[in-house]
Structure formats: C-alpha cells, structure tokens
Amino acid sequence: MNCLLKKLSLLVLIGLILSCSAEKEEPVIGLITEKAMVVSAHPLASEVGSAILKKGGNAIDAAIAVHFALAVVYPEAGNIGGGGFFVIRDKDANYHSLDFRERGPLNSHQDMYLDENGEVIERKSIKGHLASGVPGAVDGMVKAFDKLGSLPWTELVQPAVDLAENGFELTADEAAKFNRAVENFQTYSSIDPVQFTGKTWKEGDVLVQSQLAETLKLIRDNMREGFYSGPTAAFIAAEMERGGGIITLEDLEKYESTWREPLIGNYKDYKIITMGPPSSGGLIILQMLGTMEEYQVSNDKGKYPDYIHLKTEMERRVYADRAAYMADMDYYPVPVSDLLSKEYLKDRFLTFDPERATSSASIQEGKLLSMSEETTHFSVIDSMGNAVACTTTLNGGMGSSVVVDGAGFILNNEMDDFSIKPGHPNMFGVLGGEANKIEPGKRMLSSMTPTILEKGGELFMVVGTPGGSTIPTSVFQVIVNVIEFDMGMQEAVNAKRFHSQWQPEVISYEEGAMDERLQSTLEAKGHVFVERGGIGRVDAILKLPDGTLEGGADPRGMDTAAGF
C-alpha cells in the first residue's frame, strides 16, 4: 500500500509540474531578419518596402515607397491627402526630422467653427470640406527624397501606381470598413465616389482606383508639381468650390514641409530621438520618461498596480501641459527646454501621492521656472544601418470623408486638431488652449510620436503608432516594456495597454488588460476605469545584441513585418 501511495504521489507531482509548464506561456517572437526590415499597417505595403530594400534602396527610399503604397491599400489612414512626420537616423548617427504636417488654409480663422453665439458647431471641424488642412504628404516625400533618397524617384512611386491600377483583394475587415463608410462618402463628397460606394463590398473583391492611379502617375512623373499644381491641384480646388471649402490653388502652391531639429533626450543608458512641436508626442514621452527615471517600476503582479498608478499620474500632468503650452513653434514660443528640465519635472510631481489618485480638477499646467484615431505608422531599418520612423495621418478614419473627384484620394480632417474653442475637446477628448488656436498657415498640434532609440551609441529601436491622443502613451508603454520589463519587440507590442490623459478623468484599458486584483488595488487609490477596443497599432523594430532585427507588427490590425 505504501508503495502504491508513493507511486500515486509521484504521478501527482509529475502532473503538477507538467501542468505548471503548460500554463507558462512562451514569449511571442516577431519576424527575425539579418539585414533589413519594414513594419507597416498593411502586408502589401510592407512587401513594397522590402522589395525596395532588396534592390539596394536605403531606408528613406523604402519609407517613401511604403507611404505611397499605403495611400492605395490603406486609404482610411495612408494618404496623399494628409500629412505627418519623419524621424531619421542615418548610418553615421546623424539625426533628421521632417515636418510635413498639414497647415491651416489662408482663409481659415479662429472662429470658423463657431455659431453667432460663439458656440461650437458640432462636427463642422470633423466632416466635410471645411475640416481639411492643406495636405503636406507629397511635399514631405519629395523633400525627404531630395535630401536622402538614392534610387530613382519613379521606382519608388511605381509600385503604388500598379496597386491602384490593377487593384488588390480586400479582406473581410477591409470590405466592412468600406461598407460602413459609404454613407459618409456620399454625404460629404461633392460627387459620389463610386470607386468606393458603387457596390456592397465583400471579402475577396478587388478594389481598383483608376483616378488615384492617374494622380500617382502625375506625382511619379512630375514629383511635387504633380500634386500642388496642374490637374491634381485643379481637382482639389474644384472639389473645394463645390463643397464650400476654403483650400485654394494659392494654398497648394505655398505649402512647404520643413526640416526641424529632432527632439533628443535621455533615459538611463538610452538616447531618445523623437519629433518636436508641432507634435506634442515627443515632449510627452520625454516628460514621462524623465519623471519615471526617479522611480523603480516592475510588471510583477504585486508591483504592477504601482506602475499603472504612476503612469496615470504622469499622463494627467503632461496632458495638462499639452493643452497650455504645446503648438506650432513657428506661431507660439513653446518652452521646450523648460518643460523637459529636471527641476520642472520634479516640481510638477510634488503633488504625487503613491496611495491616491490626483483629481484632474486640481491639476493645471505647470508653473514654468523660466518662460522664454486615424493615423498610420511604419518603421524601417536598411542593411546599411539607416533607420526611419514615419507617422502619417488623415486624423479620423477616412479623414473628412471628402474624396477629391477626378483625383481619387481622401482629404484629411486635421482642422479638428486645432483648438476650435479654448477648453473644447477635439474628437479624441483632448482639450486645447490659446497656443493652438486656428491661424492661417499654422500647423495644428499633433500627438504623433515617431521615435528612434540608441543604446551605447548604437541603433536600438524604431517605434511609433497611430491612435490620436493615445499615441504618446502607447509608444511610452512599448519602450518601458522592452527596457524595464525585458520583453522582446513582438511581446512588447502585443502587451495589453492602458491610457489616461488630463480629461476625461478615467483610465481606459483594452479588453483583457485588467484582472480583479489590479482593478481593486487601483480603485482603492481612487481611479475609475473604462474598457475600450484596441489602443494603438504599434509597428516597431528592435536591434538584437547579435545584430539581427526583430519586428513588432501589431496584431490589433493586419500590420506586417517584412525583410531579409
């Protein structure tokens, strides 16, 4: 009997060991390549970028090709009717950032979305012709090519021409998105864009965009002039006139993207190269990392609530600063160095209580010590060591829902990213102030956060995401996942995310991110929670210690890594 009991005990012990082993999940590992990689929001765009790299193109060439391809295969966010930012680290560790953000039309003004009583006219800044800023994407691609491109321009645009002309098969999700967009397209476009609305779409249908193909050919053959003058510019001006918009031929002619000094900061042993104003994203992540450097954080179950509490308290303060101080530096003196100073960040966090949430009502912008959700991101590293982080946007999904008849592309609704009235939230719930008011020619404040990290002087990570106001916090969380929580790139991207900002006073979380212990611990500190869908769609690349590359393609979409 004793022998039998011993055998049974041994079997039970073995069973427990096997059970524990089965429960322990192996970390997810992304695509590993030896030399080069592209991670973008669509597999066809990633394939285009990878093909450019295989032909000997550099990361800038690949980024330009990916951008134009996304304008075809991912029209809800990929664009030639919007704008964005490049952050670039070349193989010799020189840093560049290019601002091709949209600009307020020359006839725009501070009160253009208010009625006679000074109240906001709902949705006027979000849908229709008046919602669009002057597009910057094409000028940005040309500027980047002129400075850093290597292959012939025509070779970078031709893949997008082919995709538009020959078409591509829609997935079930893509078909559903177009079906949902039909009513808005027909409501807000001056002429029904039948290439999108002419049928009920289903999985496997081929989307052909003949008008867009012709526009891309003009850009291929004439570069900047193929968009900002000639037939394309005439189509835009005519669309505006029919729909009561204010973008003119003069607006298009005068648009210029701008090379700016990148925003550079440090976190422990890492150098952070990111985008400065008119993007708020770089300032936000540097403020958060600069504050967090004074604290120990962990993703162990017992300590993870402390991290989420700390992160939320930082977010409430930096988003209050965003509303007060961040804007286009050509129009407002953003106090960048003050906002990032150690003294300011320490003073900003004096009211932090590790045991209690701070009421947003009690948080205002900091006192300066001296006063002097639709977007897409892609990351590229080439075999020579050049790296590109590029985030571009139409703002909301399908932008303004205005399709330019004759040219076949969707216009942005970026005017909503201005403060259309101080204290009035934009579509992402972010409050704005006087610094970000509407002015002719001004670039509206953005949350886009294309970012490159170095460690020990060597390239370490390329990262960015779409997501409106959640962009900086998503990038922040992925960086922390890798640096502090020892995750690989794909694991860091897959990890569930949380988001908070100054207003509304809640913590948003993805389904599956919250367990009972975490929620009860944080509720005891005074936090309130709201469950929501996916937060961000991060596309990132991590350079591993052996020199290989690991891609992190966000499973929240059909994002894909490709390379060799």
Active-site annotation holds for 197: no
β-strands 83-89, 387-393 pairing? antiparallel
Q: Are 1 and 7 in contact (CB under 8 A)?
A: no
Q: Are 466 and 373 in contact (CB under 8 A)?
A: yes
In the block, residue with structure tokens 């704005």: 432
Q: Are 444 and 106 in contact (CB under 8 A)?
A: no
String of b and e for 142-175 (b: at least 16 CB within 10 Å)? bbbbeebbbbebebbbbbbbbbbbebbebeeebb
In the block, residue with structure tokens 């800038």: 60
Q: Are 228 and 138 in contact (CB under 8 A)?
A: yes
**CA-based nearest residue to 526, from 318, 309, 310:** 309
Q: Which residues pair with 539 in a beta bridge?
A: 553
Q: Are 294 and 314 in contact (CB under 8 A)?
A: no
Q: Are 549 and 563 in contact (CB under 8 A)?
A: yes
Rounded to a whole number of angstroms, the distance between the first and last alpha carbons of the chain is: 62
Q: How many residues does the chain have?
A: 564
β-strands 507-510, 451-455 pairing? unpaired
What type of residue sits at position 446? S
Q: Are 42 and 73 in contact (CB under 8 A)?
A: yes
β-strands 507-510, 498-499 pairing? antiparallel
Judge residue 177's burial from the number of C-beta atoms within 10 Å of its C-beta, 0-12 exposed, 13-18 middle, 19 or more buried. middle
Using CA atoms of 402, 404, 405, 407 in order, give the dihedral in degrees to the nearest 10: -150
- Cα 340 to Cα 288: distance, rounded to the nearest angstrom: 9
Q: Residue 375 to residues 50, 398, 547: CA-CA distances in angstroms?
A: 21, 10, 30
- Does residue 440 have a cis bond before it (omega within 30 degrees)? no
- Cα 384 to Cα 150: distance, rounded to the nearest angstrom: 13
Per annotation, catalytic residue among 232, 274, 312, 375: 375
Q: Catalytic residues, which ones? A: 375
